[in-house]
Amino acid sequence: MVQRAIDLGWPAPRVHVIDADLGQSGPESQRPGFQELVTAVSLGRVGLIVAYEASRLARNNTDWYPLLDIATVVGTLLADTEGVYDPCQYHDPLLLGLRGLLSEAERHVLRLRMDAGRPRQMARGTYRQTLPTGWVR
């Protein structure tokens, strides 16, 4: 994604990577990278946010829409592999909002599938639950 920002005209020394939240799940309060991003955008220090998929920056729409609102106020652009979005334009926030909504629905469907698969694994005798620290199977 660094190369994507450089390709869009940002000088390499001005590109800052935030990857503190990679591979982590949990509530927003446990995502220091996302909080750092929101703070930097709020202070007007960010001209462009680049992500592999923009709608996945926030884990839910409760966090996604405020980020879009702040980006609109300060004029921060968002970019991903699909394109560059200007939240100040009428259609871009609409598109980003729909993509965020679809992303959240996709996560919900995946969760339902995973939950539905657990009883089937139990019935087959193949389900393995993680044991507490110190316990041995």
Over the chain (137 residues), what is each successive 10-residue block's mean pLDDT?
85 84 58 86 91 75 85 91 88 82 84 90 88 85
Backbone φ/ψ region at 75: left (φ over 0), alpha (ψ -120 to 50), beta: left
pLDDT value for 33? 83
- In angstroms, the CA 86 to CA 69 distance is 11
Domain 2-124 has CATH 1.20.5: no
Domain ranges of the chain: 2-124
pLDDT value for 25? 58
Q: How many CB atoms lie within 10 A of CB 100?
A: 22
pLDDT value for 83? 86
